[in-house]
């Protein structure tokens, strides 16, 4: 991640964020820039609380997926997407989000959906049997999860589903006996993590076309230490609907659309200025008159624009400068060796897996962990 770009976007410092985007392209730091984008979009997803918010998230997701898989990237495209992230972070539902709930609070809200004696019906068992672990205790626990998620889904409780997904995602448990091919992402030497298994269940419970894009971005050049920074791609599934892709709800109001046009029109000028500054080793604060006073106060009632309108106009207006991106491998196994910088220090209490019964929802993370031991233990 590029910390300068990340902080500039969160602060709404448009000039600095756009300037830094150009620097990332010049310095072949596309991977760092993309990881920054991925984390900001995840923040938006984590703070979605309504289906109308999900439309904005879907558009960011779709564009991000396209950009990170392109072999070459235009300066205009990069600056446009950075600008969209700045505008998105200014939305009240994103910027005014309260702090995360503790796992104890999440548990109190959703535990009634997961009683200890929960079992699937015959119809449910027939539908999900191919996903269920083979080991008896793991299978019982998996049935408990499936039954609870199905119950929430059938009642259409989006808020409860979102909180249940976050609660389960933050539990440190791994199911080791999930049958192939559904066990591909479950590695014995990974940190305890239910998310690989939960992706499988959600694709069966809510089979929407956007699942692949969500999972692709969640696991893009993934390291276990990235989990907390990408949680938004997982929990947002409670609010996403299939019609997000075709929605005609307003996305950018007229003010925002005008600002995006200014970025498009000024992209070549900014690129040349940053490039010249780098060649001359100019260490002064970035200053470009094109983007002064970029962020007026947001207009609450937007002019209705279809999602495709800004892109079609902007593509035709501006000359493209393409940067070929240096690529790491697109898929890194979850069991890849973790670098020292990725490993967060853990308190001794968070490493205590010996307390309590296995699969006991009363045990919470991070204070006390439950671990499903592999058969070799």
**pLDDT tens per residue, range 348-357:** 333 332 233 4
**pLDDT tens per residue, range 198-213:** 999 998 888 888 889 9
Euclidean distance between CA atoms 37 and 64, whole angstroms? 8
Higher pLDDT, 136 or 338: 136
Statement: residue 142 has pLDDT above 50: yes
Cα→Cα distances 54→44, 108, 127, 237, 267, Å: 9, 26, 29, 9, 29
Nearest one of 71, 59, 48, 53 to 330, comparing CA atoms? 71
Euclidean distance between CA atoms 22 and 79, whole angstroms? 8
* pLDDT score for 217: 96
- The confidence band for 44, taking pLDDT boundaries of 50, 70 and 90, is very high
Higher pLDDT, 16 or 344: 16
* pLDDT score for 243: 77
Is the pTM above the cut of 0.85? no
3-state percent breakdown (helix, strand, coil) of the chain, nearest 5: 55, 0, 45
**pLDDT tens per residue, range 235-248:** 999 998 887 777 77
Q: Which residues contact 217 (CB under 8 A, 6 or more apart)?
A: 38, 41, 61, 64, 65, 68, 230, 233
**pLDDT tens per residue, range 288-324:** 444 444 443 333 333 333 343 444 344 344 445 555 5
Statement: residue 130 has pLDDT above 80: yes
Statement: residue 123 has pLDDT above 50: yes
The pLDDT mean for the chain works out to 77
Q: Averaged over 188-206, what is the pLDDT?
A: 84
Q: Averaged over 347-366, what is the pLDDT?
A: 37
Structure tokens at 103: 């796992």
**pLDDT tens per residue, range 67-98:** 999 888 889 999 999 999 999 999 988 988 77
Q: Averaged over 3-13, what is the pLDDT?
A: 94
What is the H or E stretch that residue 72 is in?
strand 72-74
* pLDDT score for 110: 93
Euclidean distance between CA atoms 292 and 14, whole angstroms? 9
Q: Averaged over 123-127, what is the pLDDT?
A: 86
**pLDDT tens per residue, range 152-184:** 998 988 999 999 999 999 988 888 899 888 888
Euclidean distance between CA atoms 258 and 32, whole angstroms? 28
- The confidence band for 39, taking pLDDT boundaries of 50, 70 and 90, is very high
Higher pLDDT, 250 or 107: 107
* pLDDT score for 168: 94
Higher pLDDT, 229 or 371: 229
Statement: residue 48 has pLDDT above 80: yes
| Local structure of 333: helix, strand or coil | coil
Euclidean distance between CA atoms 59 and 306, whole angstroms? 11
**pLDDT tens per residue, range 94-119:** 988 777 889 999 999 999 999 888 88
Cis peptide before 2 (omega within 30 of 0): no
* pLDDT score for 285: 52
* pLDDT score for 189: 62
Tell me if 191 sits within 8 A of 172, measured CB to CB. Answer: yes
């Amino acid at each position: 991640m590029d910390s300068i770009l990340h902080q500039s976007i969160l602060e709404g410092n448009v000039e600095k964020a756009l300037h830094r985007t150009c620097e990332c392209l010049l310095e072949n730091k596309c991977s760092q820039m993309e990881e920054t984008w991925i984390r900001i979009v995840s923040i938006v997803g984590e703070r979605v609380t309504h289906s109308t918010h999900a439309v904005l998230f879907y558009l960011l997701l779709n564009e991000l997926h396209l950009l990170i898989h392109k072999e070459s990237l235009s300066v205009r495209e990069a600056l446009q997407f950075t600008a969209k992230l700045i505008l998105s972070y200014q939305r009240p539902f994103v910027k005014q989000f309260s702090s995360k709930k503790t796992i104890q609070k999440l548990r109190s809200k959703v535990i009634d959906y997961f009683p200890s004696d929960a079992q699937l019906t015959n119809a449910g068992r027939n539908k999900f049997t191919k996903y269920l672990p083979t080991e008896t205790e793991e299978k019982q626990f998996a049935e408990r999860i499936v039954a609870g998620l199905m119950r929430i889904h059938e009642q259409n409780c989006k808020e409860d589903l979102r909180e249940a997904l976050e609660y389960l995602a933050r539990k440190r448990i791994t199911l080791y006996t999930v049958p192939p091919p559904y066990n591909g992402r479950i590695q014995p030497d990974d940190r305890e993590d239910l998310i690989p298994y939960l992706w499988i269940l959600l694709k069966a419970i809510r089979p929407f076309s956007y699942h692949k894009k969500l999972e692709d971005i969640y696991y893009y050049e993934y390291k276990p230490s990235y989990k907390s920074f990408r949680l938004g791609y997982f929990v947002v599934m409670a609010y996403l609907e299939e019609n997000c892709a075709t929605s005609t709800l307003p996305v950018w109001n007229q003010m925002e659309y005008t600002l995006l046009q200014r970025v498009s029109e000024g992209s070549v000028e900014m690129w040349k200025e940053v490039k010249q500054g780098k060649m001359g080793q100019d260490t002064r604060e970035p200053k470009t008159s094109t983007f002064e006073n970029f962020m007026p106060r947001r207009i609450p009632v937007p002019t209705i624009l279809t999602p495709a309108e800004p892109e079609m106009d902007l593509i035709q207006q501006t000359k493209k400068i393409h940067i070929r991106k240096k690529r790491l491998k697109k898929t890194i196994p979850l069991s890849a060796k973790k670098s020292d910088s990725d490993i967060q220090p853990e308190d001794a209490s968070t490493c205590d897996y010996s307390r309590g019964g296995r699969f006991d929802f009363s045990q919470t993370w991070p204070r006390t962990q439950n671990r499903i031991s592999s058969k070799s233990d």
